[in-house]
Structure 1
Amino acid sequence: MSEKPAWLKPHGRPWGVSSSQVVYDNPWITVTEYQAIAPTGRPALYGKIGFKNQAIGVLPLHADGTVTLVGQNRFSLANYSWELPEGGAPHGEDPLDGARRELAEEVGLRAADWRQILRMELSNSVTDEIATGFLAMDLSPTETAPDETEDLAVARVPFREALDAAVDGHMPDAITVALLLRVHLMAVRGDLPAELAALIL
């Protein structure tokens, strides 16, 4: 990881809170309403969605330069989404353990080479959701165990084809776009084995 540039520093005052109230709660999220004080000193009403799991994404990169993707119907946007294997890990669990579990459950793969390559705030204006992304290599098959609500399709495609689909808007899932771009940058920078980088580029 490169050294943090000097300009990456906070400015101004942080948000303040006068009072808060939980207005919704289920096993996955909590919605809290705040009487807040903005950095400008002005009062503000704020709502925050708190996530009870951290988001996990895995880019399974095979030795031939292909990646494994999953397709599924998503509830929130009522669309069909092709994306990398993803899921959640409870706060307090090692994100790598969650990544191993999701890779096996969703696409029936295990990896001998794991690298944490990205950490993201997915929607930091109204949620506290954090995502951790992994690159998984040296892959071998294992048993799948999808969630009882998941009806998953699986596809293995060339990395460049997946990257092009993501940046052209055909795979708009944020974790998928970010991880594909991150691994492409790793190939450009020489952070991957030379033969594998050549297949990606």
Structure 2
Amino acid sequence: MHHPQENPWKIKSKQQVYDNPWINLTEYQVINPSGNPGIYGKVHFKNRAIGIVPLDADMNTYLVGQYRFTLNEYSWEIPEGGGPLPEDPLDAAKRELLEETGLVAANWTEIQRLHLSNSVTDELSILYVATGLTQHEADPEDTEQLIVKKVHFDEVYRMVCDGEITDAMTVAAILKVKLMLAEGNIAL
């Protein structure tokens, strides 16, 4: 019997099924924890997911709206993006905030790390809160058609609670910031 924290999966073989600059898909032939043969597919992300909750002195934050190809629907989210695995995540966060909103923050706090869909991917997300904001010029990537709106934090929290915002990083970050505000752990 395996210790509960030891890996009970046995890999018999693996085959790369797909690869592009952002992801890699591998299919594994395995013996599963119950001892039976099976397959497992894993999507490996070549970038780290980054999300930022920018907060100004009046408790406003900024949402980014865009049409999400994978969902075939429009989505409101905190500023998000990716950073190559070797890049410092904070540098990626600063770049993404500036690119998408034109904001530069004087103060940065990492608030959470989470795996976004650990049943099929190894994608790691790092979330930040950014304060001490100044406005500059946004410079979104050519693949992005963004709408940025300034919204009071309480309204964004309501949108999360009412299911109007469903993006996992946004939901986690807003709930975490709400808790941190209640505990007095964020200085504006």
Does the TM-score normalized on the shorter chain lie above 0.5? yes
TM-score range, shorter chain: over 0.9
Aligned residue identity for 1:31 = L
Q: Does 1:126 align with 2:143?
A: no
TM-score by length of 1: 0.89
1:92 matched residue in structure 2: 86
Q: For 1:41 and 1:60, how far apart are their aligned partners in 2?
A: 48
Query: What do you get for the CA RMSD once the two structures are aligned?
Result: 1.3
Q: For 1:139 and 1:37, how far apart are their aligned partners in 2?
A: 52
2:31 matched residue in structure 1: 37
Structure-2 change in CA distance of 1:170 and 1:146 (3 Å): same
| Cα deviations by residue, 1:151-180 (Å, 9 ceiling, x for unpaired) | 110110110100110121111000000000
Gaps (5+ residues) in structure 1? 1-8, 197-201
Q: Secondary structure at the match of 2:98?
A: helix
Q: Secondary structure at the match of 1:63?
A: coil
TM-score by length of 2: 0.95
Q: CA deviation at 1:122?
A: 0.2
Q: CA deviation at 1:110?
A: 0.5
Q: For 1:113 and 1:58, how far apart are their aligned partners in 2?
A: 12
Q: Does 1:77 align with 2:71?
A: yes
Following TM superposition, the consecutive aligned residue runs of length 4 or more in structure 1 with deviations greater than 6 angstroms are none
Within the candidate set 7, 10, 22, 2:16 is matched to 22
Gaps (5+ residues) in structure 2? none
Q: For 1:156 and 1:13, how far apart are their aligned partners in 2?
A: 46
| Cα deviations by residue, 1:36-75 (Å, 9 ceiling, x for unpaired) | 1222222221111111101000000111001011101110
Q: Does 1:110 align with 2:104?
A: yes
**Alpha-carbon contact 1:85-1:102 (below 8 Å) kept:** yes
